[in-house]
Amino acid sequence: MKQVIQDSLSLLMLLFLLAGCSVEPKPIAYGAANCAHCSMTLSDKRYGAELVNDKGRAYFFDSAECLAAYVVDQPELGNKAAFLMVTNYTNPEELIEAQKAYFLQSEALPSPMGMNLTALAEAATAGEMQQQLGGQVLSWDQVLLAVQNDEKFK
């Protein structure tokens, strides 16, 4: 039985490999990539974001609010996306899934596009930072709503 499972698993792996282009988040090239929503050059490592579509093509954004605005503008792209990634503020090398992230919205931490959103991986960290800096903690869906209702992005 075990053997069968292993075999089928390895077969699946093989199929995946044969499928060619892998669909996964790509590292963000700061200083070279331009934001797909606002055309600005990505330059702040703490705020970069990324959308990977179902074909494996990556779109880069300079901030979570630009990613949100892009998804709000083009729902079909947003719904079909394989990954929506944002940068974990406490560890700028790490991309985390937007749906699982906690967003601290605080005036003490201005983000690149004026919505003051900082993405964090842990609820506890978000809570601590909120204690220190004030503001509110939002989920990804609340961020989408906030962007939708934001004057600047209309």
Partner 1 sequence: MKNLSNTFILTCTFILLLLAPNAFGSTLKVCKTCRYTSVKQAVQKANPGDTILVSGGVYRESGIDINKPLTLIGQNNAVIDGNFTGQLLTVTADNVTILGLTLKNVATSYTRDDAAIRVMGRQNIRIVGNTILKTYYGIYLQNSEKVLIKNNNILGDNTDRNESALGNAIHLYYTDEVEISGNNVQGHRDGIYLEVVKNSQVHRNTSHKNLRYGLHFMFSDGNTYTYNTFRKNGAGVAVMYTRNVRMEHNTFEDNWGAASYGLLLKEINNSVIHHNLFRRNTTAIHMESSSRLDIKHNDFERNGWAIKLMTTCIEDTFRLNNFTGNSFDVSTNGKSQYNYFENNYWEKYTGYDLNKDKVGDVPYRPVSLYAMLVEQVPPSVMLMRSFMVNLLDNMEKVLPSIIPEHLVDKFPLMKKIDHDNDRKLTQVLR
Q: According to the binding rule CB under 8 A, does residue 132 interact with partner 1? A: no
Q: Are 106 and 54 in contact (CB under 8 A)?
A: no
Output 42 or 140, the one with its CB closest to partner 1. 42
Question: Which stretches of the chain are DSSP H helices?
Answer: 2-18, 64-73, 75-80, 123-133, 140-148
Distance in Å, CB of 89 to partner 1, minimum:
9
Q: According to the binding rule CB under 8 A, does residue 149 interact with partner 1? A: no
Q: Which of 110, 122, 136, 141 binds partner 1 (CB under 8 A)?
A: 110
Q: According to the binding rule CB under 8 A, does residue 44 interact with partner 1? A: yes
Look at the block and give the residue holding tokens 């702040």: 44
Distance in Å, CB of 128 to partner 1, minimum:
13
Longest dimension (CA), the chain: 60
Q: With CB under 8 A as the contact rule, which of the stretches 2-10, 11-19, 34-42, 137-145 interacts with partner 1?
A: 34-42
Q: Are 85 and 103 in contact (CB under 8 A)?
A: no
Output 62 or 103, the one with its CB closest to partner 1. 62
Q: Shortest CA distance to 97 belongs to which of 67, 126, 69?
A: 67
- Using CB under 8 A as the criterion, which residues of the chain lie in contact with partner 1 when the complex forms? 30-32, 34, 38-41, 43-46, 92, 110, 113-114, 152
